[in-house]
C-alpha cells in the first residue's frame, strides 16, 4: 500500500521538525525520553524507524547510543542528515518500516515512534512489528507509539475544532473504526492515520511474536490543557509537576485512553535482556 497522504501532509502542509521542540510537544518529548531510557541498554545500536528529522536521534546520540534513522520521506532524512550527519555514531537512510533496509538481529533496540499510526491496514501494521522483531537481537527491545483512539475527540474540545460539523464527522469515524481520514486537507486535523484502542497496541506486538513489557499512556490529561505549554519554558518549576501528573497515571487501566499517545514496550524472546531497576 502506498502512503500518498503522508507525503502531501509532511512535504507541503506540516513542519514535523518543530513538533516536539515547542508547545506541549515538549511534554511528549520528555515523557518518551523517560519511558525509552528505562528500557534501553546503557549503550545500544538503536534503529529509529520513522525518525523524521532526528528529534529523538539527537538525544539518543547525546546518551551515547549509535543511531541509524530510517524514514519514508526523503525530505525528512535529508534534514536529519543536515542536523546530525557530522556525528560519527549517526547514519540515516530512506526506507519503509514494512521492509526495513537492515539485517536480521543487527540492532539492540528499535523505535517505532510514528509508522504504526500512519498505516490503516492491520496487515501493514503487523508487517512493521514483524520487521522490528526480525532486526532486533534476541532480548532486544522494541518501543512503539500509537495515537489514542480518543485523541481527535479530546483535541476537538481542547482546540474548539469540535464546533465545526466537518471535524465532528471526522471524529465520528475515528471513534467507530479508528481510521482517521481528513478530506478537508486542513493540516491542523492531521492526515490519514490509524488511532489505536489502548488494548490493540500490545495485542499487535504479541501477535507478531514479541513479549510485551508494558503499555503506558504518554502525556496524561495535560496534553489537552493547552495553557500548560508554558510550564515547559526554561526555568518553570511547574514542568516537573506536569510530568508527575502524567507519570502517576501512566499504567492506570481506566485512564489509558486519556493520553494523546500510547507506548508499548516489548522484547524479542530469546535471552534475558537489560532492564533498569526502575522499569
Ligand atoms: C509523526 S512523525 C513522528 C516522528 C518522530 N519519530 C517523533 O516521534 O516525533 C511520523 C514519521 O513516520 C514516518 N513514516 C510514516 N510511515 C512510515 C513507514 N511506512 N516507514 C517509515 N517511516 C514512516 C513519516 O514520514 C514521519 O516522519
> What is the domain partition of the chain in residue ranges?
4-149+196-267
Interatomic CA distance for residues 149 and 194, integer angstroms: 8
pLDDT tens string 10-28:
665 556 778 898 999 999 9
Tens of pLDDT, residue by residue over 219-237, are 999 999 999 999 999 999 9
C-alpha 181 – ligand 1 centre gap (Å) = 17
- Whether the full predicted model's pTM is greater than 0.85, yes or no, is yes
Q: What residues are in contact with ligand 1 under a 6 Å CB criterion?
A: 3, 6, 10, 16, 20, 49-52, 55-56, 70-73, 76, 96-98, 113-115, 118
| DSSP bridge pairs for 264 | 144, 215
> For residues 270 and 78, what is the distance between their CA atoms, to the nearest angstrom?
36
CA 101 – CA 131 distance, rounded (Å): 10
- Ligand 1 center to 184 CA (angstroms): 22
Question: Which region, left, alpha or beta, applies to residue 23 given φ > 0 means left and ψ of -120 to 50 means alpha?
Answer: left
Which helix (H) or strand (E) covers residue 239, if one does?
Answer: helix 238-247
CATH code for 4-149+196-267? 3.40.50.150
| Ligand 1 atom with the shortest distance to the CA of 16 | 2
Ordered per-residue pLDDT tens for the chain, 279 residues = 566 666 666 665 556 778 898 999 999 999 999 999 999 999 999 999 999 999 999 999 999 999 999 999 999 999 999 999 899 999 999 999 999 999 999 999 999 999 999 999 999 999 999 999 999 999 999 999 999 999 999 999 999 999 999 999 999 999 999 999 999 989 999 999 999 999 999 999 999 999 999 999 999 999 999 999 999 999 999 999 999 999 999 999 999 999 999 999 999 998 755 565 455
Read off the C-alpha cell for 47. Answer: 534503529
Amino acid at each position: 500500500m502506498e502512503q500518498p497522504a503522508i507525503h502531501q501532509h509532511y512535504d507541503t502542509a506540516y513542519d514535523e521538525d518543530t513538533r516536539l521542540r515547542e508547545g506541549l510537544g515538549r511534554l511528549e518529548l520528555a515523557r518518551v525520553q523517560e519511558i525509552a531510557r528505562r528500557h534501553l541498554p546503557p549503550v545500544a545500536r538503536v534503529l529509529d524507524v520513522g525518525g523524521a528529522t532526528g528529534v529523538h536521534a539527537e538525544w539518543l546520540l547525546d546518551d551515547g547510543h549509535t543511531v541509524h534513522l530510517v524514514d519514508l520521506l526523503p525530505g525528512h532524512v535529508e534534514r536529519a542528515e543536515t542536523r546530525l550527519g557530522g556525528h560519527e555514531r549517526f547514519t540515516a537512510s530512506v526506507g519503509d518500516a514494512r521492509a526495513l533496509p537492515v539485517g536480521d538481529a543487527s540492532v539492540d533496540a528499535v523505535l517505532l515512534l510514528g509508522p504504526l499510526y500512519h498505516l490503516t491496514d492491520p496487515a501493514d501494521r503487523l508487517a512493521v512489528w514483524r520487521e522490528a522483531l526480525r532486526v532486533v537481537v534476541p532480548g532486544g527491545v522494541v518501543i512503539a507509539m500509537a495515537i489514542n483512539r480518543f485523541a481527535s475527540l479530546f483535541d476537538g474540545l481542547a482546540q474548539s475544532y469540535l464546533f465545526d460539523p466537518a471535524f465532528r464527522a471526522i471524529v465520528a469515524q475515528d471513534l467507530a473504526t479508528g481510521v482517521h481520514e481528513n478530506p478537508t486537507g486542513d493540516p491542523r486535523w492531521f492526515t490519514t492515520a490509524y488511532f489505536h484502542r489502548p488494548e490493540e497496541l500490545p495485542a499487535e506486538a504479541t501477535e507478531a511474536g514479541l513479549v510485551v513489557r508494558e503499555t503506558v499512556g504518554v502525556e496524561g490529561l495535560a496534553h489537552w490543557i493547552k495553557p500548560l505549554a508554558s510550564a515547559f519554558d526554561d526555568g518553570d518549576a511547574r514542568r516537573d509537576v506536569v510530568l508527575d501528573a502524567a507519570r502517576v497515571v501512566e499504567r492506570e487501566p481506566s485512564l489509558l485512553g486519556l493520553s494523546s499517545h500510547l507506548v508499548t514496550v516489548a522484547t524479542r524472546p530469546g535471552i534475558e535482556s537489560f532492564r533498569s531497576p526502575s522499569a
